[in-house]
Amino acid sequence: MKRIILGDNAVVLPTLPERFARAIYIDPPFNTGKVQKRERMRVTATEGEGARGGFGGRRYDVEKIESGSYGDAFDDFEGFLIPRVAAALRCLTPDGSLFVHLDYREVHYVKVALDRLLGRDRFMNEIIWAYDYGGRPKNRWPAKHDTILWYASNPDDYVFDYDAMDRIPYMAPGLVSKEKAERGKTPTDVWWHTIVPTGGREKTGYPTQKPLGILNRIVKVHSRPGDVVLDFFAGSGTTGEAAAAHERGFVLIDQSAEAVKIAAKRLERFDPEVVTMPRSA
C-alpha cells in the first residue's frame, strides 16, 4: 500500500481500515502563532556584477522563489490534535507504535492529554531530537531541540528491532576496544541530527520539513519490511520516503494541495496512488 491522500485528516481517518499500520508518526503544526514560511533562493553564476560574491571572485545572481506557507496558530491546540489522534488509534496494529513530534510550546500539554487518552503505562520514551542551527538569542538559552513522544499499543508486545538500529560513533573511541569502536554504539533517547541542509538534495522547500535520518530510524526499528506506516500530517512526504526506501508501505494524509503535490513528486519513483477526498465523509 502506497497512498497519498489530499483531505482533512479528521474526515479521512474514519474511512481507513482498522489495524493496518504498524507505526504512526505525526509532525503536527507546532502552534507557534505565526505563518510558517521558508524562503528559497536560486543562485546562478553570472558574467556580470551579480548580487552575491563567491569563491575566486565569481559573482552570482540571486532570485527569490515563492515557497509554501501555512497558518500555525490555534486557540485550543489540544482540542485540535487529540481527537485526531484518537481517530487514528483504530488504524494501529495491536503491536504498533505512535510517535508524536512536538516542540517546547505544546509538548507538556500534549503529553498529559495523551496519557489520559492512552494510559500512562503505554508511554515508552521521550525522544529528544537535538540540532545546532539557526539564530542564538542573547536573552535566553537557544531552543535547539524537538520532542518525539513514543507510545505503544501494548507496552508488553511491540515492534522494536534492536539489530536494525543505526549505530553512532563513540565520542571517545580510545576508551573502548577496537571492535567496539568500529561497530559504534547504539543511540540513546537523545538523537543528534542536523536539520535538512538548505542546499542539500533532500530539501523540498516545504516549511518545517524534517530530516529523513530521523524517520529512517523510527521506520527501521519500529516496523518490519512489508508493514505500512501512517502519517496524517504528512507535509513534504518524509515519512513516505523513509517507509518506501526500507520496503514498507505508507499512507500519507494532508489537507494542503501544495503539500500533496510536493510529496507526490518526491515519491513518484515509488508509484503511489494519489487520492482526493471530499470535504465531508
What is the 3-state secondary structure of the chain? CEEEEECCHHHHHHHCCCCCEEEEEECCCCCCCEEEECCEEEEEEECCCCCEECHHHCEEEEEEECCCEEEECCCCHHHHHHHHHHHHHHHEEEEEEEEEEECCCCHHHHHHHHHHHHCHHHEEEEEEEECCCCCCCCCCCCCCEEEEEEEECCCCCCCCCHHHCCCECCCCHHHCCHHHHHHCECCCCEEECCCCCCCCCCCCCCCCCCCHHHHHHHHHHHCCCCCEEEECCCCCCHHHHHHHHCCCEEEEEECCHHHHHHHHHHCHHHCCEEEECCCCC
Domain boundaries defined on the chain: 2-33+73-276, 34-71
> What's the mean pLDDT in 59-85?
66
Predicted confidence at residue 73, as pLDDT, reads: 52
Which tens digit of pLDDT belongs to each residue from 199-246? Answer: 667 777 777 789 999 999 999 999 999 999 999 999 999 999 999 999
Which tens digit of pLDDT belongs to each residue from 94-152? Answer: 999 999 999 998 999 999 999 999 999 999 999 999 998 778 889 999 989 999 999 99
CATH number belonging to domain 2-33+73-276: 3.40.50.150
Predicted confidence at residue 42, as pLDDT, reads: 46
Q: Across 82-86, 133-137, 170-174, which has the greatest mean pLDDT?
A: 82-86
The residue with greater pLDDT, 48 or 13, is: 13
Which tens digit of pLDDT belongs to each residue from 247-281? Answer: 999 999 999 999 999 999 999 999 999 999 877 55
Predicted confidence at residue 37, as pLDDT, reads: 44
Supply the pTM of this predicted model. Answer: 0.82
> What's the mean pLDDT in 148-163?
97
